[in-house]
Amino acid sequence: MSDAHPAKEIAGSSPTEPLVEVSHLSRFYGPLQAVKDVSFAIRSGEVLGFLGPNGAGKTTTMQILSGNLAPSAGTVRIAGHDMLADPRAAKRQIGYLPEQPPLYRELTVDEFLDYCAALNRIPRPARRDAREAAKDKCGLRDSGRRLIGNLSKGYQQRVGIAQAIIHLPPLVVLDEPTVGLDPIQIREIRALIRELGKTHGVILSTHILPEVQAVCDHVQIINRGELVLNESITGLERHLKSASLTIAFHHPPAVATLESLPGVTSIKTESEGRLHVFHDIERNPTESIIRLAAEQGWGLYEIRPGRLSLEQLFVELTTDDAAAQDTGT
Amino acid sequence: MIATIALRELRTMFLSPLAWTVLAVVQLILGFLFLANVEIYQVYQPQLLALEQAPGVTEVVVPDLFGNAAVVLLLVVPLLTMRLIAEERRNRTLPLLMSAPVSMTEIVLGKYVGVLLFLLTVLVLVGLMPLSLLIGGGLDFGLLASALLGLALLLASFTAVGLFMSTLTQHPTVAAIATFGALLLFYILDWSGQGASSGNLLAYFSLFNHYKPFLEGIFSTTDAIYHVLLSTTFVVLSIRRLDADRLGA
């Protein structure tokens, strides 16, 4: 039963072959095009963050990836299997947690996970171990005999994740897994996702920006069905750096003094003693500012490079079409 | 894989009070009707003895019992089949099946077989009633077997129609009413054109007309094939309907 352990098969395949290859994916709902010509790929051991405002096409993309929805055009290949031509082989490679976890409330956690194991064609003797391993990973060790309907939302979410990873799929697709959880549960689920990312490929859809920065290796932003950004987290850092400094003084000097420094292009005063200094990327005035502040007793108590937050970038990309086109390609 | 889904379906039914209630109510009503029939036989037994070719106890009790069972189950089957797909859709649990390496055919057949397994329990319980007469006498086993087979085929048809209706909606009650309406219509199709000549097309499509011969001990392949075709048609329609969901607009 080699097919029962797809993870091992993948581990053996060449590391350069992408785990998921999505090319030119489109999906229409009547006249509305929810996903427009989306292409991307991820490799094993990557956590891909799929960001977008509500209604951007995130869930539609996730549903297509998991085989719940057929694309209007384009192909999805999962570990080399085409989702349309060979759905059974492709679906064997994925675990999917939809936005609302698909749980049978009348079953206990153990019964439910056993059923999922059977559905994913784990051979009978291995089911118990698979179920226990999934429960361990999701912190459900003591909840096996509880009815799913009586579990809290956070625990139900965990059961949902356990269901998605029980057959050790090479790819785990999670659609907004932290929605509706309390902050502690969110931290736990994020830790779990990071853990999963070490051994599986994970696609995480969310509209919560810090979540992406916290757990993902790779970020994609989708807006109105189109990919407007596809970057690794390190590449994203570059997008986020801007040529500015935030400085705070107890005894601020005249603005003109700072403006005259080499490299400084403009200055914006935020509040008493706090200002933003914009400068040439090539000529960073930090050193001269610190030197002058020390010499002249400006009382410098804060200086840091300005950064766009991911939120600013997100807003920039998803509200401004022109900007979207510049950064998208 | 069909068995896995079927057994879960069966299990879910028994986890809720629904299955138990259905078994209890059906058993109570049919038990009452059965006893009434036995009573009639007892009352008329002296007269029957005088007849040349007197009908036996099986001929008096079984057709009536199974005829009534069909009507009672016509009311009950929609309640059993209504949740099959509609409830999964409503609770959004369908993605669990859709993203598992299971084909649409397996999903639909699994659900179909699940309900059939439950109805088999009902069938056994109904069959046990006439069998209890063995305590005090003999039975026409051929007639009983024919009636049981007829009821089994009829229930397979009922279930297939119910399954299909359940794939159409996400409201179980809507599925139940639609199923009930469709079944009743199928059942009474022969009421129209009663005076017409034997080639009445509507009467030919009536479920009841393809059930009655079984109760008279006549096993005709035409009737059996009618039920098999009806079941297959609606199961295939259900599969196509779910597939359309995936492609759907």
Is the pLDDT assigned to residue A11 strictly greater than 50? no
Q: Are A66 and A56 in contact (CB under 8 A)?
A: no
Residue with tokens 């401004």: A320
Q: Would you say residue A78 lies in a domain?
A: yes
- Position A4 scores a pLDDT of 42
Mean pLDDT of A84-108: 90
Mean pLDDT, rounded, for A186-212:
85
Torsion angle of C-alpha atoms A112, A115, A117, A120, degrees rounded to 10: -130
List of long-range contacts for A254-262, beta carbons under 8 Å, 24+ apart: A257/A292, A258/A289, A261/A285, A261/A288, A261/A289, A261/A292, A262/A288
Instruction: Read off the pLDDT band of B196 (50, 70, 90).
Output: low
Chain B residues near residue A63 by CB distance under 8 angstroms: 95
Q: What six digits make up the tokens of A261?
A: 């420094």
Residue A326 has pLDDT above 70, yes or no: no
Q: At A3, is the pLDDT very low, low, confident or very high (cuts 50, 70, 90)?
A: very low
Confidence of residue B193 (pLDDT cuts 50, 70, 90): low
Q: Does an H or E element contain A30, and which?
A: none
| Interface check B98 vs A, CB under 8 A | yes
Distance from CA of A91 to the nearest CA of B (A): 5
Chain A residues whose beta carbon lies within 8 Å of the beta carbon of residue B100: 91, 116, 119-120
| Residue numbers of the domain that contains A147 | 2-224
| Highest mean predicted confidence (pLDDT) among A253-262, A306-315, B126-135, B197-206 | B126-135
Number of H-type helices and E-type strands within chain A: 13, 14
Closest chain A residue to B89, measured at CA: A102
Q: What is the pLDDT of residues A139-161, one digit of tens each?
A: 888 888 999 999 988 889 889 99
Q: Which of A58-72, A103-117, A256-270, B94-108 shows the lowest mean pLDDT across its residues?
A: A256-270
Q: Look at A7-21, B4-18, B149-163, B199-213 and tell me which has the smallest mean pLDDT.
A: A7-21
Instruction: Work out the end-to-end distance of chain B between its first and last CA atoms, rounded to an integer number of angstroms.
Output: 29
Task: Of A76-85, B5-14, B50-59, B227-236, give the lowest mean pLDDT range.
Answer: B50-59
Q: How far apart are CA A38 and CA B61, in angstroms?
A: 68
Final residue of a domain: which of A173, A190, A224?
Answer: A224
Q: What is the CATH number of the domain that holds A277?
A: 3.30.70.100
Of B97, B100, B249, the CB nearest to A30: B249
A325 located within any domain: no
At A68, which CATH number? Answer: 3.40.50.300
Given a cut of 70, whether residue A241 has pLDDT beyond it is no
- Three-state DSSP string of B120-139: HHHHHHHHHHHHHHHHCCCC
Whether the predicted pLDDT of B177 surpasses 60: yes
- Asked whether the beta carbons of B70 and B204 are under 8 A apart, the reply is no
Q: Please state, in angstroms and as integers, the Cα–Cα distance from residue B20 to each residue in A147, A257, B13, B98, B151, following that order.
A: 20, 87, 8, 30, 20
Same domain, yes or no: A35 and A6: yes
- Tell if the CB–CB gap between A67 and B98 is shorter than 8 Å: yes
d(CA A313, CA A209): 10
Contacts of B175 (CB under 8 A, 6+ apart): B78, B81, B82, B83, B86, B162, B165, B166, B168, B169
Domain boundaries defined on chain B: 2-247
Contact B12 A106 (CB under 8 A): yes
Interchain contact B102–A (C-beta under 8 A): yes
What are the backbone dihedrals phi and psi of residue B201, each rounded to the nearest 5 degrees, phi first? -65, -40
Facing B4 at nearest CB: one of A69, A87, A118: A118
Three-state DSSP state, A109? helix
Helical H runs in chain B?
2-15, 17-50, 57-81, 83-90, 94-98, 104-131, 141-168, 172-188, 201-205, 212-215, 221-247
Q: Check: CB of residue A303 under 8 Å from CB of residue A246.
A: yes
Query: Distance (Å) from the C-alpha of residue B228 to the closest C-alpha of chain A?
Result: 28
The total domain count for chain A is 2
CA separation for the pair A6, A93 (Å, rounded): 6
Residue A207 and residue A250 in one domain: no
Any domain includes A261: yes
Residues of A in contact with B247 (CB under 8 A): 70
Three-state secondary structure call for residue B67: helix
Q: Are residues A247 and A269 in the same domain?
A: yes
Among A212-226, B92-106, B195-209, the range scoring the smallest mean pLDDT is B195-209
Nearest to A78 by CA among A6, A8, A165, A27: A6
Distance, in angstroms, between B99 CA and closest chain A CA? 6
Burial of B31 (0-12, 13-18, 19+ CB in 10 A): middle
Contacts for A85 with CB less than 8 Å, ≥ 6 apart: none
Task: Give residue B195's pLDDT band: very low, low, confident or very high (50, 70, 90).
Answer: low
Pick the range with the lowest mean pLDDT from A116-130, A207-221, B115-129.
Answer: A207-221
Give phi and psi for A220, each to the nearest 5. Answer: -125, 135
A299: left (phi over 0), alpha (psi -120 to 50) or beta: left
Asked if the model's pLDDT at residue A323 lies above 70, the reply is no
- Three-state secondary structure call for residue A75: strand
Residues A22 and A128 in one domain: yes
Residue A214 belongs to a domain: yes
CA distance A231 to chain B (A): 28
| CA A212/CA A190 separation, integer angstroms | 10
Residue A265 in domain? yes
Q: Which two tokens stand for residue A52?
A: 């977008």
Give the span between the Cα atoms of B130 and B34, in whole angstroms.
Answer: 8
- Rounded CA gap, B84 and B162, in Å? 9
Q: Which chain B residue's Cα is nearest to A98?
A: B95
At residue A44, φ and ψ (nearest 5 deg) are -65, 145
A-interface mutation test, from B96, B111, B247, most A Cβ less than 10 A away: B96
Mean pLDDT, rounded, of chain B: 89
| Predicted pLDDT at A329 | 36
Structure confidence by residue, pLDDT tens digits, B18-27: 889 999 999 9
Using a CB–CB cut-off of 8 Å, the residues of A that contact B are: 28-30, 63, 66-70, 87-89, 91-92, 94-96, 98, 100, 102-107, 115-116, 118-121, 163
**B12 vs A contacts (CB less than 8 Å):** 104, 106-107
What percent of chain A has pLDDT above 90?
18
Identify whether A319 is part of a domain. Answer: no
Q: How many CB pairs (< 8 A) connect A and B?
A: 70
Q: How far apart are CA B182 and CA B172, in angstroms?
A: 15
Residue A97 lies in a domain: yes
A110 shares its domain with A204: yes
Contact (CB<8Å) A98/B8: no
SS3 assignment, position A176: coil
- Whether residues B93 and A91 touch (CB distance < 8 A) is answered with no
Query: How does DSSP assign B91-117, residue by residue?
Result: TT-HHHHHTSS--HHHHHHHHHHHHHH
B44 to chain A, closest Cα gap in Å: 51
Distances (CA, A) of A155 to A141, A180, A188: 11, 12, 11
Identify the three-state secondary structure at position A122.
Answer: coil
Residue A278 maps to a domain = yes
Angle subtended by helix axes B172-188 and B57-81, to nearest 10: 150
ipTM for the predicted complex: 0.86
Confidence of residue A8 (pLDDT cuts 50, 70, 90): very low
